[in-house]
Structure 1
Amino acid sequence: MKQWYLLYCKRSEQKRAKLHLENQGVACYYPETAVEKIVRGKRQIKSEPLFPSYVFAHFDPETGPTFTTIRSTRGVIDFVGKGATPQVLDDSLIETLKEIEQLQLHSQCDSLPAKGDVVRVAGGQFSGIEAIYQEADGETRSILLVKMLSKPVEVSVENRHLEI
């Protein structure tokens, strides 16, 4: 009977391990999450592993491939388990992770507004002021245009204080 197991892989070789395992007929699950990052001054959404260095494998060790075959697969270090026995995972755990991943894909939208959008500052020293969003200022702050003394002025505000 096929069951889920958790494999510990070499650093940054989860995708390689997944590819080689799938070539052996092993179903694999490698959950990823979208992370917003500032790369060279531009906001980008990058895909990163939810569990770095780990891959879920679904197979029946009695009908093949064996635990030894899986352990010797390129990129795999060993099974996660109790002592020398690999730990069997509950199917509901994998189903829940897949549901969460699908929900994230459907609800994925930029958390920051587009340039030129009107936003309201909800906290901090500019609390209650409406401003025009300009650009991201690092990973946790944004540059806004605020009207002061009839003149637009750029200010940097923490993203957690913005209301779209």
Structure 2
Amino acid sequence: MDDNKQTKQTINPLPSIVKSNNPNARWYVVHTYSGHENKVAVTLKQRIESEHLEEKILDVLVPMQDKIEIKGGKKLSVKEKIFPGYILVKIALDDASWLAVRTTQGVTSFVGMGNKPTPISDAEVATIVKFTQSETPVYKQVFGVSDTVKIVDGPFSDFIGKVDNVDEERGKVKVLVSIFGRETPVELDFLQVQKI
């Protein structure tokens, strides 16, 4: 299964490892191989425990959001990474903690200028966390404006039309369908149309 999205049944939440409130700890963005974010987070957490770095590396986050994906005519709730190829690490940066993160399998680098990691603010992390905890799952957009689609359900079944508007939050798409020689807008559920 693609590591960028997973069904809810296969999600193993990565518990926070915060055991210390080190005032020198800052949040950093760590670049990983795309698709290996969860593996890197799990490996890094195991490494933190085995090397007793709990006072220096306080937390590891893989920001994810609930999305609704339509597959085979069914709605599936999936977790999708907000920043594929990146994880967030709260770390009191010194040589040992930098080396532990940097040499974890799947990590390519810290994000920053040259070889110097650049921290991000607690407010930025709070915004990201708030975004990941959104109550309402968002539809994963599968249609774009001017895509040609076939209506597969409802009174306009088998009609071909062009997408005029996409409402991702409601899971609706407005399709221009030719009826009696005139283009008529029809609002449909994502499940009622299929991309051609």
Tell me the TM-score normalized by structure 1: 0.65
1:122-141 equivalence runs, <5 A? 139-140=142-143
Match of 1:130 in 2: none
C-alpha contact 1:145 1:155 (8 A) present in aligned 2: no
- The partner residue of 1:108 within 137, 157, 160 is 137
State the identity %: 18
Higher CA-based Rg: 1
Gaps of 5+ in 2: 1-23, 49-53, 144-148, 164-171, 175-186, 190-196
Aligned residues of 2:65 and 2:132 also touching (Cα < 8 A): yes
Are 1:95 and 2:126 an aligned pair?
yes
Superposed displacement of residue 38, structure 1: 3.0
- CA RMSD of superposed structures (Å): 2.6
- The within-5 A match list for 1:4-15 is 4-15=27-38
Residue ranges of structure 1 left out of the alignment (5+ in a row): 112-138, 147-152
Q: Secondary structure at the match of 1:37?
A: strand
1:64-83 paired onto structure 2 within 5 Å:
65-83=96-114
Q: How many residues align?
A: 127
TM-score by length of 2: 0.56
Who is 2:44 aligned against? 21
Aligned residues of 2:32 and 2:106 also touching (Cα < 8 A):
yes
Residue aligned with 1:145, SS: coil
2:81 paired with 1:46:
no
CA shift at 1:41, angstroms?
A: 4.0
> 1:154 aligns to what?
157
What letter is aligned with 1:57?
V
Secondary structure class of the residue paired with 2:89: strand
**Corresponding residue of 2:66:** 34
Distance in 2 of aligned mates of 1:160 and 1:51: 26
